[in-house]
Amino acid sequence: EDADLVELVQHAADAFRASRPDHPLTVTTGTEAVKVRLDPQRVRQVLDNLLANAAVHTPPGTPVSVEVVVASGAALVRITDAGPGIPPEDQERVFDRFYRVDEGRSRDRGGSGLGLAVAQSLVRAHGGRIELNSEPGATVFTVRLPLDEAGLPGAPGPERTAV
Ligand code: ATP
Ligand code: MG
């Protein structure tokens, strides 16, 4: 199913603003629709978890940003927060089921540690992947989804490739 990733991100952003008014959210996208073959509910679940994580790990008032970018055959959604970050030695393991950084400190935040494991398998099921870059003050989760050829700006349409 083809869906507009920009529209999907806007809907996730609206829901985030309603449920987390304590975290100002900025969304940056191009003006064009970004058509991706995806299951909207599943990708929405991924975005919701990444946005919730960003809010949970930053103090009230701290902005969160979302960006949609098209780059070399892929659509990227980048979610950035200004929280404490994820130490390098934990960056792979946060995608493991039930793994939570500093369990003692984060127990009161109530998560199960499943969100990123589920998000990663959902994104992989779309032929994509999730990338993580994090240092204190800047954590970026990037959801990378393969673009439909037909959705690539300037790609030849079928009527022109047909012989
Ligand atoms: P759940 O999503 O199942 O409710 P959770 O949020 O704890 O629980 P994950 O989303 O899988 O689980 O995240 C795993 C762990 O990775 C978190 O417990 C936290 O330690 C760390 N983490 C995730 N996102 C961030 C972030 N943006 N900043 C800092 N740490 C993070
Ligand atoms: Mg989570």
Cα distances from 135 to residues 5, 103, 146, in angstroms, run: 27, 19, 27
| Per-residue pLDDT band at 74 (split at 50, 70, 90) | very high
* CB-based contacts of 20-24 (< 8 A; 24+ apart in sequence): 20/51, 20/52, 20/55, 22/55, 22/60, 22/61, 23/54, 23/55, 23/58, 23/60, 23/61, 23/62, 23/63, 23/64, 24/61, 24/63, 24/64
ipTM over 0.95? The verdict is: yes
Nearest CA among 89, 96, 88, 12 for reference residue 54: 12
Task: Tell me the pLDDT tens digit for each residue of 9-59.
Answer: 999 999 999 999 999 999 999 888 999 999 999 999 999 999 999 999 999
Tell me which residue has its CA closest to atom 23 in ligand 1: 53
Q: Which of 48, 116, 123 to mutate to test the pocket of ligand 1 (most atoms within 8 A of CB)?
A: 116
Residues with a CB atom less than 6 Å from ligand 1: 49, 53-54, 57, 81, 83, 86, 94, 100-101, 106, 111-117, 139
Task: Tell me the pLDDT tens digit for each residue of 75-104.
Answer: 999 999 999 999 999 999 999 999 999 766
What is the value of pTM for the model shown?
A: 0.90
Q: How far is the CA of 99 from the centre of ligand 1 (A)?
A: 8
Place of tokens 């975290």: 23
